[in-house]
Structure 1
Amino acid sequence: MFDDLLAPISDEAPSGEYLKDNRSLFRGYRNEFNMAQSSFRQLVEVPDAVEDAELVDANSTNWNKLSESCHLCLATKSKDLEIFSWFTVAQLFTAEPFKNLSAALISMEAVVENFWSTLHPTLPEKKRKGETEQEQAVEIIEHRIKPLLQLVGDTAESGLLYMPLQMLPLVGEIDFGRFYKAEKDGSLSNLKDEAVIAYGHEKSEVEERIRALGSALDALVRLETSLSEKCREAGATPLSFKFVKDAIERLISSLRFLVGEQFAHWPLDPEPVLTAQELRWLRKKFQSR
């Protein structure tokens, strides 16, 4: 977790300032996000672009710069869910993408819980149209959570996290794009053989990816539940995290198909509970020593 993001920005304004009122500051973050998005789109859309080291390095630089800027903003300027969304997706372009994605989502969940009453973007009074307190409360919440829609998506292949997740290595050089293609053309058994060989060279790394994906999924479930409760209390419409959860669940399922048999116990399954008979057997075995 990014612990420094859980500290208040100041005693007077725990969540800092409303960025949209500081246009020049917000424009800088928006420009960095657009630049990172543009360089990633180029890698996705231009044939063989991923083989161009210069383009790959430029993309990595853009996302790292965005991550650093957003991190500093969240710690010192504004705890804003749009900035948090950009910070979260930027973690998928770091050296440990799944681990850092999980850390960002866990941090976002904690910030939502600890700073909800002042969390940005908080709609300024001058922009509220509701005539009653309840109507304004709905406006405030829906305005606050709206930026998250770009992160989690509103269709099966939308959301900022969707495309980067398809391209990250799961085992060896196998990403979900290759898994999906093999599933369609009937070559999954060959891909599984490749995965098992690759797994032999990176056992700890693969297990860490599996655990990080499970942790990220758990954080999304908790965050969705928390926001839904807050929305229901105010009579606001909650956001659905279905599509982003589905995307991560597909990665976990792919990993389980490819290398699940290599584990005596799948890392995300509950620890097995011994039956009374097994406990008696173990006790007797221990006492006989």
Structure 2
Amino acid sequence: MTIQQIRYFLVLAKELHFWNTAEKVFISQSSLSRQIQALEDELQIQLFERDKRNVKLTNAGKFLQEQWIEKINEFDQIIRQAKKIDDGKAGTISITYPGSITYDFLPKFLEVLNNNIPELKLELTEPTDENHEKLLLSFETDIAFSRDKIKNANIDSLKLYSEPICLVVPKNHRLLKNNIAEIENEKFIISGLHQTTFFASLLRTWFSKNRIEPKIIIESDFGGMILNLVSKGLGISILPLSFKSALIENIEFIELEETIDLYINWRQNELNNAIKKVIELAEGIRER
């Protein structure tokens, strides 16, 4: 029994006329008769009562017609979905990202994905240890946005953009008018400098270069929390300019000379077409 035989049966069950059915399915009447007979022989069920003038469904035929219409529709839907997955137009992919792109780049990028691949399901994760390399190689994520290029022979990376890092201070703060070198005695709300993340390393380098021993009163890896604490005057921070898009009241951003990059990373020789499409769209954003 084949899917094609079931399709022939369903058309004949609707038309109840061999000649009309043969025309609809683009085969000869004799070929149609042989296919239906072969189906009946395999099932050992009479599906039609037929004479020289009339064709009628048997009760067993009516039952199979009702069941098979539903199953064939489900089967066709599965095949359509499989084709979309094969074309990279559907499926599920996982994306990891640093919190610093939450307010600016990531929403814009997700909008691009939704406009171009609307049936693609996305699983978003912000890993606290930022070990994107491990997540990619263990297939726990498919696309990793990171602030540094992952240097692994099995991972490809593409730089998307650079942006300044900024002092984040409450509005009307004295640093807005004075030399930022006068921050020695300021209270800082920043990521823990002991961490192994790229941003923590960048902060250590910046403080060392400027010969500043920061007075850290609160350590946090969550930019949204840091912004709210700065807005309440509890201290100042250093964050990428992207956080300005959070539009938190009562804070100002002072751009520093240091910049930070954003990379998109993926497994080399990726076979998943949906992942390939996401990378292509990221490249398009980069080119613009």
> Normalising by structure 2, what TM-score?
0.20
More helix per residue: 1 or 2?
1
More strand per residue: 1 or 2?
2
Greater C-alpha radius of gyration: 2
> Normalising by structure 1, what TM-score?
0.20
